[in-house]
Amino acid sequence: MKTNTCSIYVVEDDPLYGSLVEHYLSLNPDFQVKRFNSATELLKCLHEKPDVITLDYSLPDSTGDKLLQQIKEQSPETNVIMISGQDEIQVAIDLLQKGAHDYIVKNEETEGRLRISLQRLKKDIARKRELESLKTEVARKYDFKFKSMIGTSPAIKRVFDLLEKASATNITVSITGETGTGKEVAAKSIHFNSPRKNKPFVAVNIAAIPRDLIESELFGHEKGSFTGAVSRRIGKFEEAHKGTLFLDEIGELDINLQAKLLRVLQEKEITRIGSNEIVKIDVRILVATHKNLLAEVKKGTFREDLYYRLLGLPILLPPLRERGNDILLIAKSFIDAFCQENGLTEKQLSVEAKKQLLQHPFPGNIRQLKSLVELACVLSNTDAILPEHLEDVQMPTRVEELNPLGVSLSLKQHTCRIIQHCLDNNEYDVMKVAQILEIGKSTIYRMINNGELVLYKHPSKIA
């Protein structure tokens, strides 16, 4: 059905009055109208789930309140407008409390009241349809069966298998992997393929929220509960009720809050800051981290009981460098999407450009690949992307260039070498390097302050 059309069922046992209402509504080309003479006739067709029912309060085979209850049980999204010869206020109040959208008395003003009520409903119905359409598009976008996650390598096929198992159950899922491997995309794929797909998906990046605000962000607060709490705030757990809560970078959660999170997960209830009211919640939990949580447990920075509570079904996303030709498949999808969105002619990777991409270490993984090929689309003036279009980032083409002696290095040491290499080749421009590697500039400055990186000014920048 089109967004601007509205299906209306008229239930009226008076043939003359019912015909008048049907005729009046049919004058509007956006209304599709059917008329029924009894409750029995209506109930036979209620499975069609009309948008609106105008319902006579007194029918030969049912009462208005009884039929209203049956409609709400079988088709809860259908809006019911009661039309009655009774003008008793208490009757109207009772029906409105039971779910009627409006109560209209049969008199000379009925036509005008009905027109106004339907105009309001029509706008609400159109908005709901647009929202449902948007939800459907989002669901398809993050459905791994529809290629939101692309690849044919054995490593990613194992991930697809686990995502499918996760989608079929309500188990807690812990997603791990390097930065940029697509942990949030995986979480959305699980949610939008699960029975909760029509309910909220709420994502929280623990690392991006100041430590003193994270409790309020997760659990909410009451007005005046602390300085700056100017109004009541609903936390992310309540926002995600009946849906999915994705806690990204869970390894960054303060140890003092971990106990409270554990209790919430066990008891399935939260209490807002500054309140004694217990709020029951029904939320599926998905978590992600680039850290080794078991190592954090051994260091004493992550609670062991919370670790096992969150472990659930573990899914490890492989780094891009371990996915072989998936790099080219993903690059092609990014190139096609970017060209289409920006009105560019279709572009293809040259053979040499493909070889160069396959040799990249991609410390930023999929996120870095996306930035790299989108920039290449802009730099290319033809329908071909050549190696020089991929060299603007000035990243090393082989992992060995970062570690020529073959010394065994930790991930942190590799990271330092990659960032330092990028600084050396980009005139020590921290902002540019942060954009290239898709990391926060504060991260680079912190590593400089810690002595992990060296920032030599380029001669042209020396005053």
pLDDT of residue 394: 46
Q: Mark the ranges of the chain whose per-residue pLDDT is less than 50.
A: 1-2, 146, 392-398, 458-463
142-318 and 6-135 share a CATH fold = yes
- Looking at the DSSP bridge assignments, the partners of residue 59 are 62
pLDDT at 447: 83
Would you call 283 helix, strand, or coil by DSSP?
coil
CA-to-CA distance for 463 and 461, rounded, in angstroms? 6
Report how far residue 369's alpha carbon sits from residue 331's, in angstroms, rounded to the nearest whole number.
Answer: 7
Which of 202, 198, 148, 191 minimizes the C-alpha distance to 168? 191
CA distance 14 to 56: 9
Cβ pair 112, 154 in contact under 8 A: no
Residues in the chain: 463
pLDDT of residue 410: 67
Q: Give the bridge partners for 33, in sequence order.
A: 8
CATH code of the domain made up of 406-463 = 1.10.10
Task: Please give the pLDDT value at position 461.
Answer: 37
Sign of CA dihedral 161, 167, 172, 175: positive
Domain map of the chain by residue range?
6-135, 142-318, 320-393, 406-463
What pLDDT, on the 0 to 100 scale, is given for residue 3?
Answer: 54
- From the list 362, 326, 369, the residue with the least C-alpha distance to 157 is 326
pLDDT of residue 456: 60
CATH superfamily to which 142-318 belongs: P-loop containing nucleotide triphosphate hydrolases (3.40.50.300)
Q: Tell me which amino acid residue 309 is.
A: R
pLDDT score for 318: 95
CA 338, chain centre distance (Å): 21
What pLDDT sits at residue 136?
61
- Rounded-to-integer distance, Cα 400 and Cα 423, Å: 18
Note the CATH number of domain 6-135. Answer: 3.40.50.2300
Q: Give the model's pLDDT for residue 369.
A: 94
What pLDDT is recorded for position 139? 54
Give 214's contacts (C-beta < 8 A, 6+ positions apart). Answer: 206, 253, 254, 257
Q: Rounded to an integer, what distance in angstroms lies between the CA atom of residue 60 and that of residue 137? A: 45
Write down the CATH number for the domain with range 320-393.
Answer: 1.10.8.60
What is the Cα 181 distance to its own chain's centre? Answer: 17
pTM (global) more than 0.85: no
- CA 167-169-171 angle, 5° bins: 105
Q: Report pLDDT for 29.
A: 87
